[in-house]
Amino acid sequence: MITVAQRLQFEDVFPNEKKEDVVYYINKVSKETLLRTIGFCNTNPTTNFDNFFTNPVLQDDIFEKVIRYSKKNNVKEKPILISKYASLKLAEHILSNQKDFLEEPISIDEDELNLFKAFLVINTELNNNQKFDNLNSDNFENLVDLTLTFKFPESDLALFSNDGVEFLKLIYATIYKVDELFKFLNSKDDFVELKIEFLKSFNTESEEEFTKQMKFLFGKLLESKTTENYTFEVDDDTALKFLKSMTSENIKIDEDFTVLKNNPIYFLDEKLFSTVNYFFAVDKFYRSTKFKLKEIYESKEPLKRKYGNFFGFFNKNFSEDFLMKNLLDDIFHKKYFVKKPDTEKELDGEPDYYLRYEKNIFLFENKDVLVSKSLKSSGNIDDINSLLESKFVKDGKKSVGIGQIINSIQEIQDKKFRFDEAVNSDKKFTIYPILLIQDRIFQSPGVNYRLNDWYRSMAKEKLGTNYDKNYIKGLTVIDIDTLIFWAPYLKQKDRHFKEILIDHLKRMETHKKIYASTEQEALYRSNKNLIEQLSSISTRQIPFRVSTEDFVQKFKEVIVD
């Protein structure tokens, strides 16, 4: 369910006590407790105010304070103390102030109470950052705004608190994308130095060694998820060097955890390590790789002269023309699928990927979009809407994403489509527009709903009498990780992809009336309907799971008989 639980603040629990900053409290906690807390919170997200303390007397006292506050302020949902976001903020403070910590604890009670207060202070700061002044006045749109405000800033961590399936998917997709990246870097002599220096940044000398160490770490993380053991011991010198490349003694506070993302591993002693966040650790090998490659690329003048701006080069040459095209060609590999012809030079307004099967047309626009760290952490609905509009609708006077899709639909409806003459006949075709995104943050609840709302309005206005909702379907926003994860299922039957799109669009575009005999039942059904409409396609249930054999095959380099 989509729930908006209140974060406990310092004033809620200790209304008569002066609040200090986070560092004040963690400086009263022993170093070992602090370092272990990072990994513990990452592995045990259910820790809350009612199970935080070892001492039952102290636990009961805190519990009573929270209950008293909740009753006084009519707080119906159970408040939360620790979120993924709060855990990362605490990790930043701990890892950036290690030299000042106590070597020995004053007492277990003191350690736990000061940690508890540190979390409360962090929650106060996080709550103050969220702005609700400009929420949409319409009732349902207000709920969309509220969902985006709460969920968008945290969606690059995980969409759900129970993130096991998301984590499996991330590992599966990351292995695939890293493999494709190496194929791309091996495809031209121009990229040899780029690959060599990239490997060196991980203290590895070969693609094979890099892949082996990456998969070994992924295996350890999966083991940790299962056992809830958040520390790992490593004796192999090569593995230690590899892990050391992902650590830093110069952690700094940053609104988007930039330094933590680049250094997701930390050591408790010489050979004992843990991770600040499972998703950051996996993202280090692809999502964060883009910035390491940019750093190397910018030092290579011949590459810049030949290929221009790094992000233009990476997004077009790799994300679109290599990663996306290879994946979609593999999924839709049968000869009777009609695709746009290959040309030496891309034509103006050309779809990023085009597919026709029988009387169905699938129009893909690929978007590899960066979100500024200030926007992600702002919690401001106006900023989020402005980002969605500029990146996926129109950037100044230039149509992007949705705008390009509508232009292609207009060409098809006007019987002037340049990339498939067969659709310029008198036949009726059903068109499925698809926005393929490279970053999972745009699978945040409410993003597809809002973009589809804008797309429908624009399509009606531009197409006029040619607009027919029965043949021009709603917009589907799907991330490339989901396509990678679903690829085996999509290849089983030609109809599977269309069926998933139809089911998703029906759920997203259907407004259900609520009939209930009690207020509690009405609230339950309202929330259920909200989930149905605002959920991304990546969270829809499909009759498929990656087989154990297929998943295990991804780790063949590190499996020991």
Q: In whole angstroms, give the CA distance from residue 526 to residue 513.
A: 9
Q: Domain holding 363: CATH number? A: 3.40.91
Count of structural domains within the chain:
3
Residue 51: is its pLDDT beyond 90? yes
Q: Vertex 537, ends 536 and 543: CA angle to 5°?
A: 135
356 and 335 fall within a common domain: yes
Range of the structural domain that residue 414 is part of: 312-368+394-552
Domain closes at, from 291, 306, 321 = 306
To the nearest whole number, what is the mean pLDDT of the chain?
Answer: 89
109 and 179 fall within a common domain: no
470 and 547 fall within a common domain: yes
Structure confidence by residue, pLDDT tens digits, 499-542: 999 999 999 998 877 665 666 666 667 777 888 899 999 999 88
3-state secondary structure of 56: helix
Residue 136 falls inside a structural domain = no
Structure confidence by residue, pLDDT tens digits, 469-505: 999 999 999 999 999 999 999 999 999 999 999 999 9
Structure confidence by residue, pLDDT tens digits, 417-438: 999 999 998 889 999 999 999 9
302 and 327 fall within a common domain: no
Residue type at 59 in one-letter notation: Q
Q: In whole angstroms, give the CA distance from residue 238 to residue 541.
A: 41
pLDDT recorded at residue 561: 46
Cβ-contact 273, 285 below 8 angstroms: no
Cβ-contact 436, 366 below 8 angstroms: yes
273 and 399 fall within a common domain: no
Residue 150 falls inside a structural domain = no
pTM over 0.85? The answer is yes
Residue 226 falls inside a structural domain = yes
| Burial letters 203-229, b for 16+ CB under 10 A, else e | bbeebebbbbbbbbbbebbbebbeeee
